[in-house]
């Protein structure tokens, strides 16, 4: 973000003007012309607040401004002077129906003082609408951590680009709706928000093998693999084959159940191992003898042991936090940094699941999932995701793109399936 700012073709004062105007417009559209209280901090986040106050006043909204100390940057000082209206000390500020938090943004270095964070929380709780400028004050921009108590906002207006905290827990749960205001700069980092994927078209001369063969290795709990294999079949694979020692109930009839099959079969577009595997590490070892692309999920992740075993395997791994810790131990840094370190250590694309799923590639690319419904937190949804990614991989998408596409489609399917869905229902919405 800071490098984007430095490279921006427009003056910083103009960026602040645009940020403040966007904030005012977004708050007005969201809350309507109700009396507003802007809380302005000492840095440029506070400067955005003074600009927004000026715009709201021009739009005939009743505005009050409360400041935390004096402005500390030239830009903020200029914005404060241009406001020209009264400024109350934050300790004395009375509540208002609309509270706009411009205390701190990306420059926050430590938690807010207790008295300030309590004041902020009190004003936010008593407001009808609470809006945060760029980031709620107390949120650490890069990690998504909370440096002090952060109340729940209804709307967060991010300037120029989303920051990691907009997509990482616990911060993302405090932001309400997040909107991105275009202020004329673009992010230039290696990370991005995963968007709707462009899926490979079905070629006019396609046949079932060219559309992608997913081969699944079943373990001790065939139900989990039934979910994963069904998801692969519903995600456009031309052929889904399950090797199993006993017939699995509940699989679509189009999914072929076999005994042993050679894993070196060049028609295999993706091998899937893990869902329902149980205590059968030998099946992972078998999968790793194949040179075909693979998705490694669930218990199979725990059987890897040394992440370096995955080097050269062309693998996507899909751990939740417990499986991640089993394979990689306690890594330092934010969830994003941990996922990137894990991808580098294993050479695999890492789908680090949870309420804030992200996808990391060994080359440093990092995709943050858009928010998905919390009702995905139900048994078997991870199996469905693994099957979806395996199908997309078999259809020819590269590992990172297939993982990102699977995550995006999974979240949207859950939205359509509704709050009382079970993992089986998700299959109907792929």
The set of residues, in sequence order, having a beta carbon less than 8 Å from that of 322 and lying 6+ positions away, is: none
Q: Contact with ligand NAX (CB under 6 A): which of 35, 107, 145, 170?
A: 107
223 binds ligand ADP (CB under 6 A): no
Instruction: Write the Ramachandran bin of 84: left for phi over 0, alpha for psi from -120 to 50, otherwise beta.
Output: left
What is the DSSP track for 3-62? HHHHH-SS-HHHHHHHHHHHHHHHHHHHH-S--EEEEE-SSHHHHHHHHHHHHHHHTT--
Distance CA 2, CA 61 (A): 32
The Cα 213–Cα 350 span in angstroms is 22
For residue 417, the minimal CB distance to ligand ADP (Å) is: 12
Number of residues that bind ligand NAX (CB under 6 A): 30
> What does the block give as tokens for 20?
């403040």
Task: Tell me which residue has tokens 């004050």.
Answer: 137
When binding is defined by CB under 6 A, the residue of 381, 393, 401, 430 that contacts ligand ADP is 381
User: Shortest distance, CB of residue 391 to ligand ADP, whole angstroms?
Assistant: 15
Q: Which stretch binds ligand NAX (CB under 6 A): 91-99, 105-113, 225-233, 368-376?
A: 105-113
Closest CA to 32 of 61, 9, 69, 8: 61
**Count of residues near ligand ADP by CB under 6 A:** 17
- Sites for ligand ADP among residues 328-367 (CB under 6 A): 353-355, 357
Selected range binding ligand ADP among 198-206, 248-256, 303-311, 371-379, rule: CB under 6 A: 371-379
Does position 41 interact with ligand NAX (CB under 6 A)? The reply is yes
> Please, which residue, 147 or 248, has the CB nearer to ligand NAX?
147
The verdict on 298 binding ligand ADP (CB under 6 A) reads yes
3-state secondary structure of 182: coil
Specify which residues 64 forms β-bridges with. 37
Q: In the window 181-240, what residues touch ligand NAX (CB under 6 A)?
A: 183, 185
Q: What gap in Å lies between CA 158 and CA 38, rounded to an integer?
A: 16
Q: How far is the CB of 89 from ligand NAX (least distance, A)?
A: 15
Among 45, 235, 346, 357, binds ligand NAX (CB under 6 A): 45
Residue 100 or 231: which CB sits closer to ligand ADP? 231
383 binds ligand ADP (CB under 6 A): yes
CB of 367 to ligand ADP, least distance (A): 13
Contact status: 284 vs ligand NAX (CB under 6 A): no
- Candidate ranges 101-109, 120-128, 173-181, 268-276; the one touching ligand NAX (CB under 6 A): 101-109
- Asked if residue 219 binds ligand ADP (CB under 6 A), the reply is no
422: contact with ligand ADP by CB under 6 A: no
When asked if residue 292 is in the footprint of ligand ADP (CB under 6 A), the reply is no
Based on the number of CB atoms within 10 Å of its own CB, is 111 exposed (0-12), middle (13-18) or buried (19 or more)? middle
What minimum distance in Å lies between the beta carbon of 180 and ligand NAX?
13
| 207-223 as b/e: b if 16+ CB within 10 A | eeebbbbbbbbbbeebb
Given ligand ADP, ligand NAX, none, residue 193, with its beta carbon under 5 to 8 Å by kind, binds none
Nearer to ligand ADP, 307 or 411 (CB): 411
Q: Does 90 bind ligand NAX (CB under 6 A)?
A: no
Q: Does 9 bind ligand NAX (CB under 6 A)?
A: no
* DSSP 3-state percent helix, strand, coil across the chain (nearest 5): 40, 15, 45
Q: Which does 47 bind (CB under 5 to 8 A by kind): ligand ADP, ligand NAX, none?
A: ligand NAX
Q: Among 151, 160, 164, 382, which residue interacts with ligand NAX (rule: CB under 6 A)?
A: 160
Structure tokens at 71: 């402005």
Question: What are the residues facing 191 on neighbouring strands?
Answer: 366
CA-to-CA distance for 287 and 295, rounded, in angstroms?
10
| CA distance linking residue 43 with residue 45, whole number of Å | 5
In this structure, the dihedral spanned by the alpha carbons of residues 135, 137, 142 and 145, taken in order and rounded to 10 degrees, is -120
Spell out, one character per residue from 52 to 81, where the chain touches ligand NAX: x when CB under 6 A holds, - when not.
--------------------xx--------
C-beta separation of 48 from 134 below 8 A: yes
Residue 128 contact partner, candidates ligand ADP, ligand NAX, none, CB within 5 to 8 A by sort of partner: none
Alpha helices in 306-355 (DSSP H): 321-328, 335-346
Site of interaction with ligand NAX (CB under 6 A): 1, 5, 15-16, 19, 41-48, 72-73, 104-112, 133-134, 159-160, 183, 185
Site of interaction with ligand ADP (CB under 6 A): 298, 320, 353-355, 357, 372, 374, 376-377, 379-383, 385, 410
């Amino acid at each position: 973000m800071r490098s984007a700012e430095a490279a921006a073709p427009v003056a910083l004062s103009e960026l602040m003007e645009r940020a403040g105007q966007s904030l005012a417009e977004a708050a007005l559209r969201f809350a309507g012309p109700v009396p507003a209280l802007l809380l302005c901090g000492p840095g440029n986040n506070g400067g955005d607040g003074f600009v927004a106050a000026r715009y709201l006043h021009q739009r005939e909204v009743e505005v009050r401004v409360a400041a935390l100390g004096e402005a500390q940057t030239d830009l903020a000082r200029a914005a404060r002077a241009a406001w020209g209206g009264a400024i109350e000390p934050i300790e004395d500020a009375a509540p208002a129906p609309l509270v706009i938090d411009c205390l701190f943004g990306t420059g926050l270095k430590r938690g807010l003082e207790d008295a300030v964070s309590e004041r902020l929380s009190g004003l936010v709780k008593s407001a009808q609408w609470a809006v945060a400028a760029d980031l709620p004050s107390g949120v650490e921009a890069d990690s998504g951590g909370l440096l002090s108590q952060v109340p729940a906002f209804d709307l967060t207006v991010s300037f120029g680009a989303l920051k990691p905290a907009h997509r990482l827990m616990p911060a993302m749960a405090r932001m309400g709706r997040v909107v991105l205001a275009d202020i004329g700069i673009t992010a230039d980092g290696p990370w991005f928000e995963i968007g709707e994927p462009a899926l490979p078209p079905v070629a006019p001369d396609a046949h079932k093998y060219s559309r992608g063969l997913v081969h699944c290795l079943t373990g001790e709990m065939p139900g989990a693999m039934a979910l994963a294999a069904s998801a692969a079949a519903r995600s456009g694979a031309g052929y889904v084959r399950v090797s199993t020692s006993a017939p699995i109930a509940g699989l679509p009839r189009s999914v072929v159940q076999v005994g042993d099959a050679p894993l070196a079969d060049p028609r295999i577009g993706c091998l899937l191992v893990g869902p329902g595997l149980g205590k059968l590490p030998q099946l992972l070892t078998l999968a790793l003898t194949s040179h075909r692309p693979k998705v490694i999920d669930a218990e199979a992740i725990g059987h890897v042991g040394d992440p370096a075993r995955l080097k050269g395997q062309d693998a996507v791994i899909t751990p939740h936090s417990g499986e991640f810790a089993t394979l990689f131990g306690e890594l330092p840094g934010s969830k994003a940094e941990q996922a990137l370190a894990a991808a580098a250590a294993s050479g695999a694309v890492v789908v680090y699941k949870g309420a804030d799923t992200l996808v990391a590639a060994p080359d440093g690319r990092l995709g943050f999932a858009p928010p998905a419904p919390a009702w995905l937190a139900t048994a078997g949804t991870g199996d469905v995701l693994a099957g979806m990614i395996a199908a997309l991989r078999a259809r020819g998408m590269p590992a990172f793109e297939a993982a990102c596409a699977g995550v995006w489609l999974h979240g949207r399917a859950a939205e359509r399936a509704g709050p009382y869905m079970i993992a089986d229902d998700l299959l109907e919405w792929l």
